[in-house]
Amino acid sequence: MGVKAMMSLWVEIIFIFMHSQILIMRKILFPCLYLIFMFPAMLFSQKIEKQDQVRGSVTPERYWWDLLHYNIEVQPNIALKSISGKNTIRYKVLQEYQQMQIDLQAPMQILRISQDGKKLNYTRKFGAYFIDLVKKQSPGEVNELQIDFSGTPPEASNPPWDGGFVWQKDKNNKDFIANANQLLGSSSWLPSKDHPYDEPDQGMDMIISAPEDLMAVSNGRLLEVNRQDGKKMTFHWKVVNPINGYGININIADYQHFSETYQGEKGSLDCDYYVLPYHVEKARAHFKQVPKMLEAFEHWFGPYPFYEDGYKLVEAPYLGMEHQSSVTYGNGYQNGYLGSDLSNTGNGLKFDFIIIHESGHEWFANSLTNDDVADMWIHEGFTTYSEVLYLDYHFGTQAGNEYLIGYRDRTLNLAPVTGNYGLNQRGSNDMYIKGAAMIHTLRQVIDNDEKFRTILRELNKEFYHQTLSSAELEAFLINRTGLELQGFFDQYLRGIKIPSVRIKIKKGKLYYRFKHTVSNFRIPVKFIINGEDVWLQPDKKWKTYALTASNASVSIDENFYIQTERKK
């Protein structure tokens, strides 16, 4: 997504304020009353943590089976803003176990679960259904489970940030429907294995029912369109690659379709566009940025990851989101982020933020996916940096650098960019620009753009269509760069302090040292001394560098996300 959930910023600020007030009460005022009043809250927080563990951890009921394929049939009831359908889940048995966890959040409900035609019993706990399997689950077998469901999915009031379904009308008073559920998860509307560590290896079939005067668009390629009884049509879409759950998408509208073919690194890539009828001509002109995006990102990251499923932009009744091979778009056919430049440099108006950012997620989020939402910085940090690389490729390195440095001022550093593992908890919103600033700093340390590009391409090749942890990614980068980077990652990902270099000039010498850094933070830093680049290796202790002039001008290259403190 783009700059998500500004409200989350206020939540972080309010949390810090409330936390400080609680500490005052506990330590200074009336500790006994504090305990009396807080005890029920403690019990509640434990319940919430247990619920988060069921949702966010790889439970025994998830671990024993490997998800292979979803076959989803959905029938929306537009008048009631509800849906019904079934999901047939194909899976491979990894080890013997007789209970399976499937996720579906209230108010959605499972109507029936069956295997081999036999109805199965289940119990519900929080947002999970624990299914008692009758058939013996033998390792190596491939089995299927059919789940019938219905209900009223959450309606998004501020999509895509709060998530859910959007039921709107277009300017011609025709239905304009879509879903976006990155933070809520696929289980907000679909019975699924709602944890990012496991994706359907063999893809997905999606069959959507829609009124005969509308078109339903989903991920992958359109296989067939059939007429149902009455005034309904069904649209059958197929994905052959693995797909993350939150990237599964439904769009229903009075779409007009046009297409083009991009000649990329793996051959011909079909690019399809679905827009409202009164935006066709505007879209034809504006979407010329798509081939430019593909050219830039294939240069930096390697081939587009889903040639078999194609690429498409689909107009949506909200800003946009990175649905795999079906990127949704609602930025008003204008450059910038809703027409504004997030960097305040002018460079943010050289491209459409949603086309570039959300398409960047095809590499980072959809092909290379975090295996725990605590590591969502992998998605958002690298994709935010893709904006910099797009500018670099088409407008020059200086344009990309200026954009990053201007955008970087939005970082708050109130909480780490990584969240708590196993609890379905993401880190702070700094994961976007602070993650990008960290990557940009690493690029400066490598000091070789061809090597940096090779590493990015190797990263996408190594983890192509896979899930991974931050620890795995960090180990990969440490190995490929040959640098001591563990402290570097600890500093930017798991801490909140911006590293700084304290400097002072005395008697013809530059004194310098690191401050506000973790103990093993160790990277070379490019100083600008009298207009010349000088690489120095600061440490916790003071070091010196002989200056050629007593009135030397000393600064740090501003492409490093490092502050400078001057001491007289």
How confident is the model over 276-320, as pLDDT tens digits? Answer: 999 999 999 999 999 999 999 999 999 999 999 999 999 999 999
| 385, 323 Cβ separation under 8 angstroms | no
Provide the pLDDT for residue 15: 36
In what helix (H) or strand (E) does residue 290 lie, and over which residues does it extend?
Answer: helix 289-301
Q: How far apart are CA 393 and CA 300, in angstroms?
A: 9
Provide the pLDDT for residue 14: 38
Q: How far apart are CA 547 and CA 530, in angstroms?
A: 9
Question: Measured between alpha carbons, how far apart are the two ends of the chain, in Å?
Answer: 45
Q: What is the mean predicted confidence (pLDDT) over 445-455? A: 98
Q: How far apart are CA 263 and CA 291, in angstroms?
A: 9
Q: How far apart are CA 564 and CA 548, in angstroms?
A: 21
| 214, 174 Cβ separation under 8 angstroms | yes
User: Which residues, 6 or more positions from 128, have their beta carbon under 8 angstroms from its beta carbon?
Assistant: 54, 55, 101, 102, 103, 104
Handedness of CA 471, 473, 475, 478 (dihedral sign): negative
Q: What is the mean predicted confidence (pLDDT) over 477-500? A: 97
Strand partners, 466: 368
Provide the pLDDT for residue 549: 78
Provide the pLDDT for residue 538: 97
The count of other CB atoms within 10 Å of the CB of residue 200 is 24
| 4, 337 Cβ separation under 8 angstroms | no
The count of other CB atoms within 10 Å of the CB of residue 228 is 12
Provide the pLDDT for residue 33: 34
pLDDT at 335 over 60: yes
Provide the pLDDT for residue 1: 53
Please tell me the pTM assigned to this model.
0.90
Three-state secondary structure of 140-162: CCEEEEEEEEEECCCECCCCCCC
Provide the pLDDT for residue 158: 86
Q: What is the mean predicted confidence (pLDDT) over 446-452? A: 98
Question: What domains are defined for the chain?
Answer: 6-56 (no CATH), 500-566 (2.60.40)
Q: How far apart are CA 503 and CA 368, in angstroms?
A: 40
- Which of 8-22, 385-399, 502-516 bottoms out in mean pLDDT, i.e. has the lowest? 8-22
- Amino acid letter, residue 366: N
pLDDT at 39 over 70: no
pLDDT tens across 77-108, in order?
A: 999 999 999 999 999 999 999 999 999 999 99
Q: How confident is the model at residue 182 (pLDDT cuts 50, 70, 90)?
A: confident
In what helix (H) or strand (E) does residue 132 lie, and over which residues does it extend?
Answer: strand 128-132
Strand partners, 235: 208, 225
Q: Which of 385, 404, 375 is nearest to 474 (CA)?
A: 375
User: 208 burial class (0-12, 13-18, 19+ CB within 10 angstroms)?
Assistant: buried
Provide the pLDDT for residue 7: 39
